């Protein structure tokens, strides 16, 4: 096990690699973490994801735009690919699987993909239906996979109208399933009105919400660790 100073150095390398969208730095940091016996989960959350949180802040501050976000996410994935095989399956106290997709009539999936990525990192099993997904497909997939969570995304008001139909159908068949919606035209009010359980606020960037979720999961993990 590397000493504390070295550990800090590696985590910093991973974090900065993501922030500066430097894939090579992330790979290098990840390889060092593996070689020197750093805990892979720690490297992911306190290194890569911590960097992505800063990216989210830069995005809100309009220092970063969508291209930077995507490049940062690519850098994160570059490190993640190396670290993931060394990961202990994370027990966050929130076990589960999630069905995610962009609703019918909508081909915007950048936000959806970022959310998906964060679920991936958090150890969820993700069933990604992609974009322009027929409404019934969500219902079928949820039943088939018995997922605890369904996430619906839409970027346009024209496609958003499909959401309440999906929510109604899923709730009719499986009232225990949690549903979250997100995307530019959606709102907390709409989520409440349609009976969704959660709302990814300000969804022109679904990333922010994903980061919150991961931060939340992280908190759960930490709380759980504190109890032990």
Partner 1 sequence: MNADLLKQHLKREGATLVGIGDISEALSSEIMHLNRGIAIAVNRNLNRGTVEILSRLQGLAVSWLSVRGFRNLSIPPDSDRQKDKLITKLYKLFCHKTAATCSGLGWVGKNGLVINREYGSKLSWATVLTNAPLLPDRPIRESECGDCDLCVRHCPSGAVTGHHWSVREHGKKLVAYEKCAALKNVRQSIEGKPNCGFCVTVCPYSRNGKKKAANS
Q: Is 107 in the site for partner 1 (CB under 8 A)?
A: no
- Nearer to partner 1 by C-beta: 51 or 167? 51
- Nearer to partner 1 by C-beta: 26 or 92? 26
CB of 65 to partner 1, least distance (A): 6
- Cα angle 70, 95, 31; round to 5: 45
CB of 78 to partner 1, least distance (A): 9
- Nearer to partner 1 by C-beta: 113 or 153? 113
* φ/ψ of residue 152, rounded to 5: -110, 135
Q: Is 61 in the site for partner 1 (CB under 8 A)?
A: no
- Nearer to partner 1 by C-beta: 45 or 64? 64
Taking CA atoms, 16 is separated from 34, 56, 76, 88, 197, in Å, by 18, 14, 10, 24, 35
Q: Left (φ > 0), alpha (ψ -120 to 50) or beta: where does 196 sit? A: beta
- Nearer to partner 1 by C-beta: 11 or 52? 52
- Nearer to partner 1 by C-beta: 35 or 204? 204
CB of 66 to partner 1, least distance (A): 4
Dihedral over Cα of 40, 46, 48, 53: its sign? positive
Task: Please pick, from the candidates 9, 74, 146, 168, the single residue that binds partner 1 as defined by CB under 8 A.
Answer: 74
Residue 31 near residue 86 (C-beta atoms within 8 A)? no
CB of 223 to partner 1, least distance (A): 31
Q: Is 67 in the site for partner 1 (CB under 8 A)?
A: yes
Q: Is 110 in the site for partner 1 (CB under 8 A)?
A: yes
Task: Please pick, from the candidates 38, 45, 53, 77, the single residue that binds partner 1 as defined by CB under 8 A.
Answer: 77
Q: Which residues form the interface with partner 1 (CB under 8 A)?
A: 65-68, 70-71, 73-74, 77, 109-110, 113-114
């Amino acid at each position: 096990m590397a000493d504390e100073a070295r550990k800090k150095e590696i985590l910093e390398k991973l974090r900065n690699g993501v922030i500066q969208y430097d894939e090579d730095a992330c790979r290098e940091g990840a390889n060092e973490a593996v070689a020197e016996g750093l805990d892979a989960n720690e490297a992911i959350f306190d290194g890569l994801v911590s960097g992505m949180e800063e990216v989210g802040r830069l995005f809100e501050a309009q220092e970063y735009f969508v291209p930077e976000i995507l490049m940062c996410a690519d850098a994160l994935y570059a490190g993640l690919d190396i670290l993931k095989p060394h990961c202990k399956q994370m027990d966050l106290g929130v076990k589960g699987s999630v069905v995610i997709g962009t609703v019918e009539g909508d081909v915007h999936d950048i936000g959806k993909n970022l959310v998906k990525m964060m679920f991936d990192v958090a150890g969820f099993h993700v069933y990604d239906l992609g974009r322009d997904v027929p409404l019934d497909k969500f219902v079928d997939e949820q039943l088939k996979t018995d997922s605890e969570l369904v996430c619906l995304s839409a970027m346009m008001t024209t496609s958003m109208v499909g959401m309440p139909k999906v929510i109604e159908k899923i709730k009719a068949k499986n009232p225990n399933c949690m549903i979250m919606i997100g995307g530019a035209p959606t709102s907390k009010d709409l989520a409440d009105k349609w009976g969704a359980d959660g709302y990814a606020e300000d969804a022109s960037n679904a990333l922010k919400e994903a980061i919150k979720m991961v931060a939340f999961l992280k908190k759960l993990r930490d709380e759980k660790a504190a109890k032990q």
